[in-house]
Amino acid sequence: MTDTTTEQATAAASGAAATEQFRSRLRTDAAGVDTKRVDTLVTELLAAAHDIIRRHEVTYAEYDALKSWLIQVGEDGEWPLFLDVWLEHAVEEVAGASREGSKGTIEGPYYVPDSPVLPAESALPMRDGEDGTALLFQGRVRSVDGTPLPGATIEMWHADNDGLYSQFAPGLPEWNLRGTIVADDRGGFRIRTVQPAPYQIPTDGACGKLIDAAGWHAWRPAHLHLKVSAPGHQLITTQLYFEGGEHVADDIATAVKPELILAPTPVADGDGREVTYDFVLDKA
Ligand code: MBD
Ligand code: FE
């Protein structure tokens, strides 16, 4: 991470922002989850934990380490980060299993709804001289039957060249590298942005402590986040990665799929790189 003259990004600050963001847009009321499902799922989850404790003869020292770590996850506001890095991929796999169109993957903790609405050919909001290789991301949105989807929207958000997300790290303009692009009358879009850097999850909080204690690494490959939707079609939440990029093969969040890897090429008569990617949406 480069140095900055502004406030440092901290686990507790980004955790608090992610917790707040999540609370403001729960997909469901937890009280509405069926009693039988809660009974089954929690009973099986606990039974799996009991089994692990017995098989590995977990000690009181280890139990206390777990207990104090769980308390710290809450204090640091890192439940969204922990859950989205280590559990969400399995939930997404189940949710996306019967979809025919483009692959989805996890949303992660840093989505913010209602980003600035932009025409089909646009640059994402960014600072003057925003750091990083220019990237032209273009394509079409169509239905599984091949029909173009005019007026589809492509919400895009990603980290900057330092791996920081606006609204979760200090010192960035509010909507930096976030926008909602409205496709043209043929479902087309041409979005100018900069290529994001690999993302290191905060190392100074509870999740960082776990990664250290387990001898893991803390990295996600560079990625673009997207939510693509159109009337009468299912919204897809996805991410796109870059061929040959660091950690494409060992994403800590287990969210890379082969279909989601882009191979941008140098722009023929200009700066930066360009890539075409089409989105295919299932009918609602
Ligand atoms: C991210 O940027 C991200 O996409 C996920 C899934 C987890 C942590 C940070
Ligand atoms: Fe991300």
pLDDT of 23 strictly over 90 = no
For the chain, strand residue ranges (E) read 117-118, 121-123, 134-143, 153-158, 178-182, 188-194, 199-200, 219-220, 224-229, 236-242, 261-262, 265-266, 273-276, 279-281
Cα Rg of the chain (Å, integer): 20
CA of 147 to the centre of ligand 2 (A): 30
CA of 186 to the centre of ligand 1 (A): 32
pLDDT of 257 strictly over 50 = yes
pLDDT of 1 strictly over 70 = no
Q: How far apart are CA 105 and CA 227, in angstroms?
A: 10
| CATH superfamily placement of domain 1-284 | Aromatic compound dioxygenase (2.60.130.10)
Our answer on whether the CB atom of 84 is closer than 6 Å to any ligand 1 atom is yes
Residue 88 alpha carbon, nearest atom of ligand 1: 6
Whether 207 contacts 73, CB under 8 Å: yes
Which residue puts its alpha carbon closest to atom 1 of ligand 1?
A: 108
Q: What is the pLDDT of residue 8?
A: 76
Domain ranges of the chain: 1-284
CA of 80 to the centre of ligand 1 (A): 10
Average pLDDT over residues 27-38: 79
pLDDT of 34 strictly over 60 = yes
Element (H, E) at 86: helix 79-86
pTM for the model = 0.94
Which residue puts its alpha carbon closest to atom 5 of ligand 1?
A: 108
pLDDT of 31 strictly over 90 = no
- Phi, psi of 49, rounded to the nearest 5 degrees: -65, -45
Our answer on whether the CB atom of 240 is closer than 6 Å to any ligand 1 atom is no
Our answer on whether the CB atom of 205 is closer than 6 Å to any ligand 1 atom is no
Q: What is the pLDDT of residue 28?
A: 65
3-state secondary structure of 168: coil
Q: Over the stretch 149-187, which tens digit does the pLDDT of each residue have? A: 998 999 999 999 999 999 999 999 999 999 999 999 999
CA of 214 to the centre of ligand 2 (A): 22
Which residue puts its alpha carbon closest to atom 6 of ligand 1?
A: 108
pLDDT of 19 strictly over 50 = yes
Our answer on whether the CB atom of 256 is closer than 6 Å to any ligand 1 atom is no
Average pLDDT, the chain: 94
β 261-262/236-242 pair status: parallel
Q: How confident is the model at residue 219 (pLDDT cuts 50, 70, 90)?
A: very high
pLDDT of 2 strictly over 70 = no
Q: What is the pLDDT of residue 5?
A: 43
Residue 223 alpha carbon, nearest atom of ligand 1: 4
CA of 201 to the centre of ligand 1 (A): 7
Q: How confident is the model at residue 71 (pLDDT cuts 50, 70, 90)?
A: very high
The answer to which of 1-5, 41-45, 113-117 has the lowest mean pLDDT is: 1-5
pLDDT of 132 strictly over 90 = yes
Which residue puts its alpha carbon closest to atom 4 of ligand 1?
A: 108
pLDDT of 3 strictly over 50 = no
Our answer on whether the CB atom of 211 is closer than 6 Å to any ligand 1 atom is no
The percentage of the chain sitting over the pLDDT mark of 70, rounded to a whole number, equals 96
